[in-house]
Structure 1
């Protein structure tokens, strides 16, 4: 019975953690890329700058996801521990 309770707790905690992660970090919008070769040549400097900014934003986004995941994982661990203790109290 204890194993079933622990499994149930872990499933709830993990599903809750995924929702928290998804809502905290926003992915960057990809830059516009022209298809016309003349436009590519005309806007080459702007395109290069936009892509460099985009990849910087992508790096920040991944760092945000990593940070959020660590925070939520620790929080979920604590909630699981507290809930398991609560279940033990209820069963006594």
Structure 2
């Protein structure tokens, strides 16, 4: 039995890009909050790496899903051809 599905709930977008940290332009603010700014930037770059890994994983999952659907669709086409003969 072949089941066709037009939805993508199983692979719904779960990768959320990180929000860039606010970086002040005022030199006094930079000096006053240097430790916090450094931590925020490091956290941001860590989250960027995590985001890219998530996108890579989703791409692999969607690619595999497309491969399976392609095979299923080929079988549907074969059934249609054999039915019309």
Residue of structure 2 equivalent to 1:67: 57
- Say yes or no: does 1:42 pair with 2:32: yes
CA RMSD after TM alignment: 1.7
Secondary structure, counterpart of 1:27 in structure 2: coil
State the Cα distance separating 1:84 from its structure 2 match. Answer: 1.2
State the Cα distance separating 1:53 from its structure 2 match. Answer: 0.4
Q: Could you tell me how far apart the structure 2 residues matched to 1:87 and 1:25 are?
A: 35
State the Cα distance separating 1:57 from its structure 2 match. Answer: 0.4
Q: Which of these two proteins has the greater Rg computed from alpha carbons?
A: 2
Aligned length: 74
Q: Identify, as 1 or 2, the structure richer in helix.
A: 1
Q: Which has the higher contact order (CA 8 A, sep 6+)?
A: 1
Residue of structure 1 equivalent to 2:42: 52
> How big is each residue's C-alpha offset from its partner over 1:9-60, in whole Å with a ceiling of 9 and x where there is no partner?
xxxxxxx88xx57x22100000000011110111000000000000000010
